[in-house]
Chains A and B, each alone.
Chain A
Amino acid sequence: MALFLIKRLLGLVLTLLLAALVIFLVLEILPGDPAAMMMGVSATPESVAALRAELGLERPAAARFLEWLGGFFTGRLGLSYTYRVPVDGLIAERLAVTVPLSLLALGLAVAFGVTLGTLAAAKAHRSADAIIMGITQLGLAIPNFWFGILLVLVFAIGLGWFPAGGFPGWAADPMLAFRALLLPAIALALPQAASLARITRSTMLETLSEDYIRTARAKGLSRSQTIRRHALRNALIPVLTILGLQFSFLLAGTIVVENVFALPGLGRLLIQAIGGHDLILIKSLVLFYVATAIIVNALVDLAYGLADPRLRVGRA
Chain B
Amino acid sequence: MMISIHRLAGPAILALGLALPALPVAAQPRDTLTLCQTLEPPILDPSGGAAAAIREVTYGNIFEGLVAYDRDGKVVPALAREWTTSADGLVWQFRLRPAQFHDGSAVTAADVKFSFERAVAPDSKNAQKWIFEPIAAITTPAPDLVEITLKSFTADFLEGLAMGDATIFSAASVGKAATEPVGTGPYRFVRWQRGDRLLLERNDSWWGAKPAVKSVTFRFISDPQAQVSALLAGDCDAHTNLGAHEAVAQLRADPRLAVTIGRTEGETIVAINNAKAPFSDLRVRQAMAMAVDRRLVNEGAVSGLGTPIGSHFSPNHPAYLDLTAERPVDLAKARALLAAAGYPNGFATTLRLPPPAYARRSGEIVAAMLGQIGIRATIEPLEWPQWLERVFRNKDFDMTIVAHVEPLDVNIYTRDNYYFGYQSPVVKEAYARTKTARSETERLEAFRTIQRQITEDQANLFLFMLPKITVARKGLTGLWPNWPVPANPLAELRWE
A1 CB, nearest partner CB in chain B, Å: 36
Task: Decide yes or no: A47 and B125 within 8 Å by CB, A83-B43, A277-B384 being known contacts.
Answer: yes
- A113-152 interface (Cβ within 8 A of B): 114-116, 118-119, 122, 149, 152
B43 touches A166 (CB 8 A): no
- Give complex CA distance A209, B195 in Å: 52
In this assembly, does B348 line the interface, its C-beta being within 8 Å of a C-beta of chain A?
A: no
A166 touches B125 (CB 8 A): no
In this assembly, does A244 line the interface, its C-beta being within 8 Å of a C-beta of chain B?
A: no
Task: Decide yes or no: A37 and B229 within 8 Å by CB, A47-B126, A224-B7 being known contacts.
Answer: no
Task: Decide yes or no: A31 and B390 within 8 Å by CB, A42-B406, A82-B43 being known contacts.
Answer: yes
A50 CB, nearest partner CB in chain B, Å: 5
A164 touches B9 (CB 8 A): no
- Give complex CA distance A122, B9 in Å: 13
A127 CB, nearest partner CB in chain B, Å: 14
A83 touches B233 (CB 8 A): no
A42 touches B128 (CB 8 A): yes
A47 touches B178 (CB 8 A): no
Residues of B within 8 A of A93 (CB): 193-194
B118 CB, nearest partner CB in chain A, Å: 12
A149 touches B225 (CB 8 A): yes
- Give complex CA distance A36, B14 in Å: 52
Task: Decide yes or no: A90 and B194 within 8 Å by CB, A31-B386, A37-B384, A156-B229 being known contacts.
Answer: yes
- Give complex CA distance A155, B235 in Å: 13
B228 CB, nearest partner CB in chain A, Å: 9
In this assembly, does A293 line the interface, its C-beta being within 8 Å of a C-beta of chain B?
A: no
Q: C-beta contact mask, A257-296 vs B, less than 8 Å → 1, else 0?
A: 0011111110011001001110000000000000000000
B195 touches A268 (CB 8 A): yes
B388 touches A159 (CB 8 A): no
Q: C-beta contact mask, B33-54 vs A, less than 8 Å → 1, else 0?
A: 0000000101100000111000
- B150-196 interface (Cβ within 8 A of A): 178-179, 193-196
- Give complex CA distance A160, B23 in Å: 9
Q: C-beta contact mask, A146-178 vs B, less than 8 Å → 1, else 0?
A: 000100110111011101111111000000000
In this assembly, does B85 line the interface, its C-beta being within 8 Å of a C-beta of chain A?
A: no
A269 CB, nearest partner CB in chain B, Å: 6
- Give complex CA distance A107, B195 in Å: 25
Residues of A within 8 A of B412 (CB): 42
B196 touches A263 (CB 8 A): yes
A262 touches B15 (CB 8 A): no
Per the CB 8 Å criterion, the residue count for chain B at the interface is 67
Quick one: which of A41, A112, A186 contacts B12, CB cutoff 8 A? Answer: A112
B194 touches A83 (CB 8 A): yes
Residues of A within 8 A of B125 (CB): 39, 47, 50-51, 54
Residues of B within 8 A of A223 (CB): 1, 3
B233 touches A262 (CB 8 A): no
- A201-247 interface (Cβ within 8 A of B): 223-224, 227-228
B49 CB, nearest partner CB in chain A, Å: 5
In this assembly, does B197 line the interface, its C-beta being within 8 Å of a C-beta of chain A?
A: yes
A32 touches B388 (CB 8 A): yes
What is the chain A residue whose CB lies nearest that of B25? A160
Quick one: which of A44, A90, A153, A227 contacts B129, CB cutoff 8 A? Answer: A44
In this assembly, does B122 line the interface, its C-beta being within 8 Å of a C-beta of chain A?
A: yes
What is the chain A residue whose CB lies nearest that of B390? A31
A160 touches B233 (CB 8 A): yes
Residues of B within 8 A of A164 (CB): 226, 229-230, 232-233, 235
A105 CB, nearest partner CB in chain B, Å: 11
A245 CB, nearest partner CB in chain B, Å: 22
Quick one: which of B9, B50, B195 contacts A269, CB cutoff 8 A? Answer: B195
In this assembly, does A298 line the interface, its C-beta being within 8 Å of a C-beta of chain B?
A: no
- A37-62 interface (Cβ within 8 A of B): 37-44, 46-47, 50-51, 53-54
- Give complex CA distance A34, B384 in Å: 10
B104 CB, nearest partner CB in chain A, Å: 25
B389 touches A38 (CB 8 A): no
B388 CB, nearest partner CB in chain A, Å: 5
In this assembly, does A7 line the interface, its C-beta being within 8 Å of a C-beta of chain B?
A: no
In this assembly, does B393 line the interface, its C-beta being within 8 Å of a C-beta of chain A?
A: yes
- Give complex CA distance A122, B3 in Å: 8
- Give complex CA distance A311, B278 in Å: 69
Residues of B within 8 A of A261 (CB): 226
In this assembly, does A67 line the interface, its C-beta being within 8 Å of a C-beta of chain B?
A: no
Task: Decide yes or no: A115 and B12 within 8 Å by CB, A31-B386, A166-B230, A182-B18 being known contacts.
Answer: yes
In this assembly, does B441 line the interface, its C-beta being within 8 Å of a C-beta of chain A?
A: no
Residues of B within 8 A of A85 (CB): 179, 194
In this assembly, does B457 line the interface, its C-beta being within 8 Å of a C-beta of chain A?
A: no
B25 touches A118 (CB 8 A): no
Residues of B within 8 A of A112 (CB): 11-12, 15
- B226-266 interface (Cβ within 8 A of A): 226, 229-230, 232-235
- Give complex CA distance A46, B130 in Å: 12
A179 touches B23 (CB 8 A): yes
A165 touches B393 (CB 8 A): no
- A70-115 interface (Cβ within 8 A of B): 82-85, 90, 93-94, 107-108, 110-112, 114-115
What is the chain B residue whose CB lies nearest that of A93? B194
Quick one: which of B5, B124, B385 contacts A50, CB cutoff 8 A? Answer: B124
In this assembly, does A28 line the interface, its C-beta being within 8 Å of a C-beta of chain B?
A: no
- Give complex CA distance A169, B192 in Å: 11
Residues of B within 8 A of A32 (CB): 383-386, 388-389
- Give complex CA distance A115, B123 in Å: 63
B388 touches A37 (CB 8 A): yes
In this assembly, does B219 line the interface, its C-beta being within 8 Å of a C-beta of chain A?
A: yes
In this assembly, does B325 line the interface, its C-beta being within 8 Å of a C-beta of chain A?
A: no
Shortest beta-carbon contacts, A-B, top 4: A32-B385, A264-B195, A40-B50, A224-B3
Residues of chain A whose beta carbon lies under 8 Å from any beta carbon of chain B: 30-34, 36-44, 46-47, 50-51, 53-54, 82-85, 90, 93-94, 107-108, 110-112, 114-116, 118-119, 122, 149, 152-153, 155-157, 159-161, 163-169, 179, 182, 186, 223-224, 227-228, 259-265, 268-269, 272, 275-277
16 contacts between A and B (CB under 8 A): A33-B385, A33-B393, A38-B50, A42-B50, A42-B409, A47-B126, A84-B179, A122-B3, A159-B22, A161-B19, A163-B230, A164-B229, A164-B232, A165-B230, A263-B195, A264-B195
Given A224-B8, A260-B223, A264-B194; 7 other pairs, CB 8 A cutoff: A37-B384, A84-B43, A85-B194, A115-B9, A149-B225, A155-B19, A277-B385
Residues of chain B whose beta carbon lies under 8 Å from any beta carbon of chain A: 1-5, 7-12, 14-15, 18-19, 22-23, 25, 40, 42-43, 49-51, 122-130, 178-179, 193-197, 219-223, 225-226, 229-230, 232-235, 383-386, 388-390, 392-393, 402, 404, 406, 409, 412
